[in-house]
Structures are given as structure tokens and as C-alpha cells.
Amino acid sequence: MDNSPNPSHLLRWFDPRNRQVGTWAFILNRITALGLTFYLFLHLIMLGQLAQGAEAYSNFIALAKTPVIKIGEMLVLSAGFIHGLNGIRIVLNSLGVGVRAQKTTFLGFMVVALIGIAFFAFKMFGE
């Protein structure tokens, strides 16, 4: 096996064809983890801004009501559902529960995540 650096090896990593469900679960878990980590830093920056007083708080509330921020909140909520439920699946598998049904468990948890996401999207944007 040739392990030397080769651009085609890198491009193959981004090729979505012929991927197993477990690979998609792994990729989804990593992407949501990165997104949630990024959000944590943004959240800390915003909290630092709020420490500047009442005017900063009023500006933050006005910003929080904008559609862009609402969409961002929906993405954070979605990442939290997906990452959390996928994490529960991983813990269950580590404990020996559902090891032979990983694909079904993953798809079941993702359906639960989609239902939760749809519910909160309706609550956030349905008003």
C-alpha cells in the first residue's frame, strides 16, 4: 500500500460515493462538534460584549431578533440534537447495546433529531 502524499488520496476523502452509514455518522459527528465549538467561542464573545452595560444588552437583543441570528440559532439547535443523539448511540454501542444494529440505531436517532428540529423550527419561525 502506497502511503505517500498524493492529491488524489486527499480528493478521495471528500468523495461521498460508496460510503457506509458508519462513515456518515462519524463525519456528521465531527462536523457538528466543530460547529458547536465555533458557536461556543461566538457565545463567549457575545457575553463579553454584554458586560459593557445596558446599551450593549439592548443592541444584543435587537441583533438576536434578526433572521440571520434566528437561522444561526436553528443551526446550533440542529447540531446539538444531531451530535447529542449520535453521542448517545456511540455510548450505547460502547456498552454493547445495539452493536449489531448500528445502522438502524443511527437512522432511528437521526429521525428523532429531525422531528425535534422540525418542532423547534415551527416554534421559532411559525410565530
What CATH number is given to the structural domain containing 93? 1.20.1300.10
With respect to residue 16, please indicate whether it lies within any of the assigned structural domains: no
pLDDT tens digits, one per residue of 86-114: 999 999 999 999 889 999 999 999 999 99
CA angle 46, 86, 84 (to 5 degrees): 35
- The pTM (predicted TM-score) of the whole model is 0.81
With respect to residue 111, please indicate whether it lies within any of the assigned structural domains: yes
How many structural domains comprise the chain?
1
Nearest C-alpha neighbor of 79 from the set 122, 41, 30: 30
Of 47-56, 64-73, 98-107, 116-125, the poorest mean pLDDT is in 47-56
- CA dist., res. 27 & res. 110, Å (int): 14
Length of the chain, in residues: 127
Amino acid 31: pLDDT: 93
State which residues form the domain around 93. 22-125
pLDDT tens digits, one per residue of 23-52: 889 889 999 999 999 999 988 988 888 788
Amino acid 65: pLDDT: 86
Nearest C-alpha neighbor of 74 from the set 117, 42, 44: 117
